[in-house]
Structure 1
């Protein structure tokens, strides 16, 4: 599967405030970058060394009080997608050292608070069958409502209000999975099925010795999702970070086929 990505961003900034962007596609064994380009008007760029799943990040130092940037890429996806219910979970003592960290609670995924609920609701299931049931519960129980959450909304808030956007769906699924003993991480990326078009988020869970993409919104599938970065939650992989205030003037995210 080959996807094309085109992103245009225009923001007003506090003068001299540098911007850290995480919008570039992450090279990996399951997605090959065929072409890529990044431009920012009247700005100096400083690319950071790629930090594993944290992605390819760039500092944009604009000369004025505006960020005007464009990113494009063409990506080939070759990601296996076995049925979740066929995948087994690993015992904690058998997990790779770098995977253990994805079992712990985080700011937006306080998984320890969900352990009683998860045990009651999903305790009779294991591995991929449990994750599939969690995905279906989140999809069935939440309403996708743009503007229903903000940058401070965590999985507990979403569990109470039963509404949110892809960020909230992914946080809740990650919290459920970790509470059930399955390592999970929050993943930012692109997909052509996102409505309205925007950056997208889903979850990855560690099953059968590898990371498996799971999207509780149903807007993407493993073969139509391009990963930007993965982290404990949205705080690790925000697409834009600034020290001061930034206001959107225009933002357009387009993802297509071929």
Structure 2
């Protein structure tokens, strides 16, 4: 699978502001960035830094006034896809150290508050089948409603409302998995067929000794996804984090196959 990506951002900063950007497809073994080109407004400072778990890169910029970004890339997906259904849950004491942080509650994923519910609803299901049951539970009961949530909405609020956007679906999936003792993290991605076209968020769960992509919205398939970055929740993978006031003039994301 080959994806062609075109992202445009247009933001305004009324005063000098430090901004952390993360929108480029990651160059990692499961996907090859065959071509990429970035045009960005000249800024007072520009530096690349490693992203979480060394998946992809972030960019520090310091900008005042208009920030224009035009990013184009061609990415070939080479991900090995496994059926999660029969993959084993790794016992906690055998988990590698880098996965441990993804067992813990985080800003948007209060997993400790969901342990009684997850045990009652999914406790009798074993291994990867438990993850699939969680995914299907969310898909069947949630409605995808743009504008139903905001940057402060947690998995608990989404669970109560039974609606949200991709990040809300991912947060609930991550929260369920962590409450069951399964490491889970968020992945920001590019994927074709996302409606409305935008940056997309999915969950990744650690089963059978490897990470596996799960999209409770059903809009993206693991073999069609280009990862941008990963983290504990949406706070770690925002495409633009402004340490000051930002005004969005416009933004667009286009992802096509072929």
* Gap regions ≥5 residues in structure 1: none
The normalised TM-score by structure 1 is 0.96
1:190/1:25 Cα in 2 relative to 1: closer, same or farther (>3 Å)? same
The CA distance in 1 between the partners of 2:18 and 2:241, in whole Å, is 9
Q: Could you tell me whether the CA contact under 8 Å between 1:54 and 1:236 is conserved in 2?
A: no
Divergent runs of 4+, >6 A: none
- Partner in structure 2 of residue 56 of structure 1: 57
User: Equivalents in 1 of 2:51, 2:182: separation in Å?
Assistant: 26
Contact 1:25 1:228 in 2 (8 A): yes
1:45 deviates by: 2.2
DSSP-derived class of the 2:17 partner: coil
Partner of 1:34: 34
Distance 1:163 1:238, change over 3 A: same
What is the SS of the residue equivalent to 2:116? helix
Specify the alignment match of 1:121 in structure 2. 121
Distance 1:49 1:103, change over 3 A: closer
Give the aligned CA root-mean-square deviation in angstroms.
1.2
Q: Contact 1:53 / 1:231 at 8 angstroms: preserved in 2?
A: no
| Corresponding pairs, count | 257
- Residues 84-93 or 128-137, more deviating: 84-93
Rounded to whole Å, the distance in 2 between the matches of 1:97 and 1:11 is 39
Q: Deviations over 1:95-132 (max 9, x none)?
A: 11111221111110000000000000000012210000
Q: CA deviation at 1:50?
A: 4.8
Partner of 2:90: 90
Q: Please state how far the C-alpha of 1:54 moved relative to its aligned partner.
A: 5.5
**SS in structure 2 opposite 1:48?**
strand
Deviations 1:209-248 (A, max 9, x none): 1000000000101111111111000011111011112121
**Mind listing any 5+ residue stretches in structure 2 that lack a counterpart?**
none
What is aligned with 1:246?
246
Which moves more between the two structures, 148-157 or 244-253? 244-253
Structure 2 partner of 1:139:
139
Encode CA deviations 1:142-182: one digit per residue, 9 max, x unaligned: 11000100010000000111110000000000000000111
- Aligned residues of 1:190 and 1:255 also touching (Cα < 8 A): yes
